[in-house]
Amino acid sequence: MTVSDLTAAAPACARGPVRRARARHFAMTAPRHFAVEYAINPWMDTSVPVDVDLALRQWETLRATYIDLGHTVDLVDAVAGLPDMVYAANGGLIVDGHAVLAHFTFPQRAAEADAYAAWMTAAGWHPERTRHHNEGQGDLLVAGSTVLAGHGFRTDRRAHDEIAELTGLPVTSLELVDPRFYHLDTALTVLSDEPATIAYYPPAFTADAVAVLREMFPTAIEVGSADAFVLGLNAVSDGRHVVLPAGATGFADQLRAAGFEPIGVDLSELLKGGGSVKCCTLEVYS
């Protein structure tokens, strides 16, 4: 069944508003060389073993889920010695034909930018660099015609201005305060564009950022701690189907009540690196 079949099959009397799926274009990198060899976020513990075969199987299930929903998934070649490359969202931000390449905060991940630049170039984009650190879609989420941009841990606030200039899109800066939610995509997910709807975990943000989000997204779903702490917000929506970490069952209920269709996937191995569904998914907004 494809995205359009499922949308067509949606009952008109579904609870909440009818949500429409739009076919998406994603890029993913297999966790062939995944490991937790260094700790650059509080989820990473180098003493906990990682099962690479299981990580590959879990990642493959995520990829198959997208394909079954009718989305396109491009593959970026994994590079040995870059164990975090599976978190493809961090590779950059591709929107309206502009490709902004990541400028990683930690030296351990710096070389990933070259790998993502090579993929972008081969795919026909002209990757552009920022002077200040930016960790791609980890911190830069497109909501309608705006970019929601996180800062506080990884992406430098000053990169937000560079991104506004490079993409021509308005950028809304949101400050993160809890190191466990070190990227914007660990604490906020965009559910639909029109009308722009999000879900987020308020305690991960400054009071000012929460006020901005409440003003911009009056129908936002506020997620509780139990779901946030399994990285439930690290989710990918096509406007109707929301692929999210399987453990975020409370958030799944909230999504159902709002007319979305949650699809849980288990990415327990990739959680050991501090990432889940969205981290493994770079969306190409063209």
Return the number of other C-beta atoms located less than 10 Å from residue 261's C-beta.
19
| Residue 142 binding ligand ARG, by CB under 6 A | no
| Residue 82 binding ligand ARG, by CB under 6 A | no
Tokens 């949101």 correspond to what residue? 174
Alpha-helical (H) ranges within the chain are 3-9, 52-68, 112-122, 157-167, 207-216, 225-228, 249-257, 268-271
| Residue 92 binding ligand ARG, by CB under 6 A | no
Catalytic residue among 98, 183, 241, 280: 183
Among 273, 277, 282, 283, binds ligand ARG (CB under 6 A): 273
| Residue 274 binding ligand ARG, by CB under 6 A | yes
Q: How far is the CB of 182 from ligand ARG (least distance, A)?
A: 7
Query: Residue 8 contacts by C-beta under 8 Å, 6 or more apart in sequence?
Result: none
Q: Provide the edge-to-edge strand list for the sheet that holds 188-192.
A: 188-192, 197-200, 221-222
For residue 222, the cross-strand partners are 200
| Residue 138 binding ligand ARG, by CB under 6 A | yes
| Residue 40 binding ligand ARG, by CB under 6 A | yes
279 is catalytic: yes
280 is catalytic: no
Q: How far is the CB of 5 from ligand ARG (least distance, A)?
A: 30
Task: Considering only residues 172 through 231, tell me which ones interact with ligand ARG, judged by CB under 6 A.
Answer: 183, 185-186
Among 19, 69, 84, 191, binds ligand ARG (CB under 6 A): 84
Return the number of other C-beta atoms located less than 10 Å from residue 140's C-beta.
29
| Residue 87 binding ligand ARG, by CB under 6 A | yes
| Residue 155 binding ligand ARG, by CB under 6 A | no
| Residue 31 binding ligand ARG, by CB under 6 A | no
Among 244, 279, 282, 284, binds ligand ARG (CB under 6 A): 279
Q: How many residues bind ligand ARG (CB under 6 A)?
A: 16
Phi, psi of 232 (to 5 degrees): -60, -25
32 torsion bin: left (phi>0), alpha (psi -120 to 50), beta (else): alpha
Q: Indicate the residue among 186 and 254 with the shorter CB distance to ligand ARG.
A: 186
The two beta strands, 241-245 and 261-265, are parallel
Phi, psi of 180 (to 5 degrees): -70, -20
Q: Indicate the residue among 89 and 209 with the shorter CB distance to ligand ARG.
A: 89
Phi, psi of 4 (to 5 degrees): -70, -35
Catalytic residue among 98, 151, 241, 279: 279
From the list 38-46, 161-169, 198-206, 251-259, the region that binds ligand ARG by CB under 6 A is 38-46
From the list 1-9, 112-120, 202-210, 272-280, the region that binds ligand ARG by CB under 6 A is 272-280
> What is the per-residue DSSP string for 8-48?
HHS-TT-SSSPP-----EEEEE--TT----S-SSTT--TTS
Among 7, 29, 58, 90, binds ligand ARG (CB under 6 A): 90
Tokens 């000012």 correspond to what residue? 208
Residues that bind ligand ARG (CB under 6 A): 40-41, 44, 84, 87, 89-90, 109, 138, 183, 185-186, 273-275, 279
